[in-house]
Chains A and B, each alone.
Chain A
């Protein structure tokens, strides 16, 4: 069996300039903070980021990716209210930050992870969200066409991961972790705990190991 357990720097070296990167988590909850910390000195530039929020000032993406000049050139995101760096980016170039309603954002990820290229949603009809998008009426109600998200690399967080990569994502920390783990070509999971195969009850597995390419153990020191 392929050994997927590697250190953070080696795992993150798959990220190249120009890539599209997903980062899971909802503020601090289920955020792959250890992987983000290791992005600080990463050489990749001009990345497109797909993430629910860009963390909060001094934490997460705001701290470890925004701080690197030229690392992020475009963001698809739901909420930037707690990241001054993202707000500055939007103010400087409105096209560089695309705001997406949270449910549409989640469904775009889900679609990307299950082989659906696009879907119709009622959310955003009658607002700026519908601008430039195909509209269609089903049963007398208007819908807009939204396309799926797909990324080169996803950074996700799990409570327990077994050596095959089966992930147990716990409670509300599931949020975007389960979805992003299925919607990228290369998926790096940081694990609070890595356990032998068979040590996670099969019914508790949130994401099958087949989607996971690299498993990184979170080192608490300096976190």
Chain B
């Protein structure tokens, strides 16, 4: 199992029947591939679809059914289409049970930075600021480091997407829970040791007596 699949599969353990979920781009998008068939999860797409589904079959494309990445998609039978004010009203109102998104940096206070590297990369924040604010639970799903550069820090240095909003971090090395005391190591990926994950993490991890396995 590669790192991305490991992360995506672990995220699905946080899903429950009847949830409404928003998946960000990158690894989070992969989560949709591993949802159990018998679980009803409604996917919210911020561009105005509550009930987005997979890519259309050839010949069944509808130019007015697309995702936030400009790809044509399909919608489930119970889907609702709305304008962007209602779509984000839905988010702000707390109707999203879970959002899963990537990040450039996360820190021990649950701060997340995902939309800008000053002077280098400034594409805009999309719906991420709204999502981390409105969703009941926020999971960051990402590679633990960026080619060795640490991403889980004592304090984010890039502009924040949200302050104190992250609940859980799921990476290729393990699962961390954000608590008032700091980041608690809940689970480890196969073959990864406590020392190894700490070495790849700037923030000091809180190590409980019992640590679970990611799979």
Contact = CB atoms under 8 A, between A and B. Distances in A.
Which label, helix, strand, loop or mixed, suits the secondary structure of the B interface?
Answer: loop
Contacts of B39: none
Contact of A102 (B62, B84, B160): B84
A103 B48 contact: no
A79 interface: yes
Interface in B50-102: 62-66, 68, 70, 75, 81-85, 87-89, 91-92
Given A28-B70, A128-B159, A172 B122 contact: no
B70 A103 contact: no
Contacts of A107: 85, 88-89
Given A78-B125, A80-B124, A102 B46 contact: yes
Interface string B97-119: 00000000000000100000000
Contacts of A174: 48, 81-84
A102 B48 contact: no
B212 to A, nearest CB: 31
B160 A103 contact: no
Given A53-B124, A173-B63, 13 more contacts: A29-B63, A29-B66, A103-B89, A104-B130, A123-B130, A126-B111, A127-B162, A159-B64, A171-B64, A172-B47, A174-B48, A174-B81, A174-B83
B15 interface: no
Contacts of A103: 46, 84, 87-89, 91-92, 127, 129-130, 134
B39 to A, nearest CB: 25
Interface of B: 45-49, 62-66, 68, 70, 75, 81-85, 87-89, 91-92, 111, 122-130, 133-134, 159-164
A81 interface: yes
Contact of A171 (B62, B133, B134): B62
A52 B48 CA distance: 13
A145 interface: no
B16 to A, nearest CB: 25
Which label, helix, strand, loop or mixed, suits the secondary structure of the A interface?
Answer: mixed
A101 B160 CA distance: 12
Contacts of A99: 122, 124-125
Interface stretch (A4-12, A15-23, A176-184, A211-219): A176-184
A129 interface: yes
Nearest to B122: A90
Contact of B124 (A81, A122, A172): A81
Interface string A181-210: 000000000000000000000000010000
Q: Which 9 residue pairs across A and B have the least CB separation, nearest first?
A: A126-B163, A81-B123, A103-B88, A103-B130, A171-B64, A79-B124, A106-B84, A27-B70, A101-B129
